[in-house]
Structure 1
């Protein structure tokens, strides 16, 4: 089925953390002709679900509207983070906002103030956008969740980690674009969109609020897949294929994934901190 030239295994690199005798199957050479045809079909699919100008304008308008509402409650700055500014959101993806304020006394009262003004907008007939289903979720990270024009909006307070993640991934994307391996029209972002779509719509394993894989954890694993197969991708479909094969053959009982590679779980400190993001197993 055609030549396999250019599909070499990744420079002798063999990822540890895999189940016994699984490394060879994960790094095997694939057929170029067959995958080229499949990648063309996948490009059409990604073209249908990736962010476009109307969806970006709609989400930006909703984000600005909510930012203005929050600013009425108290003096603060409100930023978007996550998949919207990174432009890797799905059609059903939410908008993540976090409000920053120097007044730490607001830590306990901000949620009630924001919920009150959102509920006021929900009842108003003159509101600029339709607001529905306002909820206060008192998890480890407290969140106000609502629907604005049928888009889920999550609002948090002083969550610096989300902005750090955004800056980090944008910087990584720049690095990947200039690398000769990833010079295929935002291959990293297109791969994330495809993999997120499979995890969300097909396998139902994406969603940190439901105890499933977080988007950041997924992106961490995708980055590691790029690191392992640093010269052999034909397109997002192969990235998905490598992702699924690696995910199914990784020893999640004894290892986790960090940006530095597989890490034995037994070697982790009690708290890992935020410097090295980790992807634990599906049940962790």
Structure 2
């Protein structure tokens, strides 16, 4: 579910209220011109062939290192294979093994990375490996100055990746969903500073849930990333965050989280997304 802190909500409301005409009053010509300018912004932060090759090489290196040392398969998930990462984004990997516990497994992966860190001559520069003993066990490190988060047996992460990929195909319009995710992530990270689960801020998954619901509500009128961002800001600046949060199907009352606040009006798209969710996530 998606949720924002009260402080960030107040800042968004105060800043947005000064210059937020109703989205329906913005003419198509004005929006088209603004979308062209927005495309230049997206082009500055979206994945490029160079960043794709560099990240692919780092992923391949970590996969080979862990498979050679521990005999385990490693898979990327999250924003890198989805191609919605920002230039400062990390790489999420998950390692699969059914033979040992996650904590023991995590310590083994940590030892492999620490050994690689100590090598004077290594294929890649590995720095600061550490084990995060949280609810979801993680090993974090830097490889070529890129943050790597390694989790264990996260099948749900791979299913979510497949789900979001299918959502993008369902939405269409030249990958509008992915382009919108990139733009809104950039706004949340660089402009409003509200993105970053590691710092107690909103997570990427929560943000994607918020964007998904915007498509639920307004998909027929959304033809560019700026239109999605505009609807995102307009809708969530007025949202009752004190009493509700957002799920895939819409607002949920915090006092009764098992009951949807109201039925999603965009019923056809909602049903399609729910079907995808059932296939790829509820496995």
Report the TM-score range of the alignment, normalised by the length of the smaller protein.
Answer: 0.7 to 0.9
The aligned residue for residue 3 of structure 2 is none
Q: Structure 1 residues 83 and 43 mapped into 2: Cα distance closer, same or farther (>3 Å)?
A: same
1:91-110 alignment to 2 at 5 Å?
Answer: 91-103=87-99, 105-110=100-105
Gap regions ≥5 residues in structure 2: 1-12, 259-276, 279-283
Gap regions ≥5 residues in structure 1: 1-18, 178-182, 270-274, 277-284
1:116 aligns with 2:114: no
1:61 aligns with 2:50: no
The aligned residue for residue 200 of structure 1 is 189
1:222-241 alignment to 2 at 5 Å?
Answer: 222-241=211-230
**When the two structures are aligned, how many residues end up with a matched partner?**
243
Tell me the SS of whatever aligns to 1:257: strand
Contact 2:94–2:151 (CA<8 Å) still a contact in 1?
yes
Cα distance in 1 for residues equivalent to 2:23 and 2:30: 17
Cα distance in 1 for residues equivalent to 2:249 and 2:156: 19
Tell me the SS of whatever aligns to 1:153: strand
Tell me the SS of whatever aligns to 1:206: coil
Query: TM-score scaled to structure 1, two decimals?
Result: 0.81
Cα distance in 1 for residues equivalent to 2:119 and 2:83: 32
Give deviations 1:84-137, integer Å, cap 9, x for gaps: 00000000111000001121x232211211111111211212211111121211
- Coordinate RMSD, CA, aligned: 2.1
The aligned residue for residue 206 of structure 2 is 217
Contact 1:35–1:234 (CA<8 Å) still a contact in 2?
no
Cα distance in 1 for residues equivalent to 2:222 and 2:25: 11
Cα distance in 1 for residues equivalent to 2:257 and 2:221: 32
1:262 aligns with 2:258: no
Give deviations 1:234-262, integer Å, cap 9, x for gaps: 41112111111212111111111111111
Query: TM-score scaled to structure 2, two decimals?
Result: 0.81
